[in-house]
Structure 1
Amino acid sequence: MTTAHHVFDDLSRARLLIVSGKGGVGRTTVAAMLGLACARRDARVLVGTTGTDDRLAWMLGRPTLDAEPREAATNLFVQRFDPQTCIVEYGGMMAGPTLSKLVLDNGAVRRFLRALPGLDDYAVLGKAWHEATRGGRYDVVVLDGPATGHLRYVLGVPSAIVETVPSGVLSAEARRIDEALRDDRITRTVYVGLAEPWPLSELAELAESLEGELGIAFGAAFVNGLWPACTLPGKAPADLDPLRVALDRACGRGRAQRSVLRQARGLRSPVVGIDWHFGGIEGPEDLAHLLERARMLDVAHDGAGDLSRRPSP
């Protein structure tokens, strides 16, 4: 029987995990959780994000994020992938650091580059790919990636460059990135959603689209924010009515989520459930608690929405 432990085992064998989901679904939380899970499996891990806040750092035990990788725990590093810094680094990889600095220090050139559509996204993707495949410092890179609405565009940029730029350094690098994205031994996509009909349908469609059109392998889906699906027995005493109402509402929400999962067709296995964490994720202890309670959701085969406890990672 496949468990969440097995899913994390499998994902930790990839080199680049790209995490995506709509805003507000817990994408950064899952990216941090994946980093922690991979580090626990003796992989040296970098978790990177373009986010402007420091949530990722807080979750993993650091006060802030920097443009340089910082160690958060044993085998676990975090970094803010600043797009402008990534452009400079990417230019250095292609043209050499001296020539790159001469070109990019020119104000007119910088303004021109900022006007190029998709350059920031491509540079960040190139940075993640470089660290994952040839940087030599990490076994796994987890990218807290773009929202689902933007993911198809970002991951399609390398193949678009290959098709439109016939030769040269830029095309050669883009071809290497595109090949790595299509190699399931290197790259897996991880999708994050809530137990709501539209988000789950969108995730299923996006996973199918990326695999069919771009050849990028599906790694796993995570359904975040799950409430207990329970029914309270009997009737509470009158003096406990307000508490009873609150508990009934909480259980009702869990039952509604279970109903959505029963009807979730097209969402591929494996699907991992993550509990709602009251009070938010304030540090590594909270994150570890969520990781330990992660469990499989059987929504792909019979729509059963099994929320029972399973062995945890």
Structure 2
Amino acid sequence: MARVLLTAHVLELLLQHGRYSVRFTVRSREKAQRLFEAHEQYRSKLEYVVVKDIAQPGAFDEAVKSDPPFTGILHVASPFHFNVTDPKTELIDPAVNGTLGVLKAAKAFAPSVKRIVITSSSASIMDPNKPNNGAGYAYTENDWSPITLEEGLLNPLSGYRASKKFAEKAAWDFVEREKPNFDIASINPPLVFGPVKPYVSSLSRLNTSNERVLSFIQGNAKNGAPPPSVYLWVDVRDVALSHILALENPEAGGKRFFITEGYFSNQKIVDVIRKNFPQFVAGLPEGESNGGYPQDLYKADNSRSKRVLGLTYRGLEESIRDLVQTLVELGVDEEVSRV
């Protein structure tokens, strides 16, 4: 049985594949307990290590030591929130230091590891300041965001974008410089939608992308769905699968993967909710003739993910429908009825 270290929560598919035992890292024992409870049937294949601060030197040293040894690592943990006052210390440094910490620990203490898959972001690929929405430009894995450290310090959103670019850059530079016993692959998704994981116990614990869908359901877009800052998306289940495929496929080593189904708009999300959940229609705006898209827009080339990983993508309607259904199960109907 292959053994994998997971630094966040791509658990379901790893366990369902049946050939992995997993050690995952968490910041508290309470969080570990919630994960155990959500995956009770796989308890014999699970263990955890508490890593309170991924940015601390040596944070992952003990986590990577294992008998039997690990063959792979999925590094998914990185700060992603906008409630910050100092983008460098709260976003950029933890992302860079956490990524380098995993790589350094694996090189020093886990010679059996052959592949590390790192969750990066489309933010390390795309340039949001391209004129005219980047119309006519096709982004690929060869692109790197031009954001500078100085720009990353301006506000939380820029800080997040900088954190993803500099953390991923640091990983590729480390492999080139240190020549470790492993290679790496990066997963670069844009906004991620899809069903809420079973250990999410309340509506207050949603990720940033899914929070916008909850906001629409709560009636916060009655006067029209605002345009998103990025028009690309992917389902969370496809992101999870891409990590496993990148871990298992020898050809994936040394490659970045732009993981995106294609375009979405906030209005398209609203349209899916209106179609499938009539109880929320009163708080949702009517559709727009152009679906809420600008007249001209950049393109995104996801062909490498299909060709190398063999990935196929879920459509937006399935993803949003499944997401809203899990929100209903968490009690969003009752919350909306009180508004």
TM category, shorter: 0.3 to 0.5
Higher RCO structure, 1 or 2 (CA under 8 Å, sep 6+): 1
Normalised to the residue count of structure 1, the TM-score between the two structures is 0.38
Quick check: which has more Rg, 1 or 2?
1
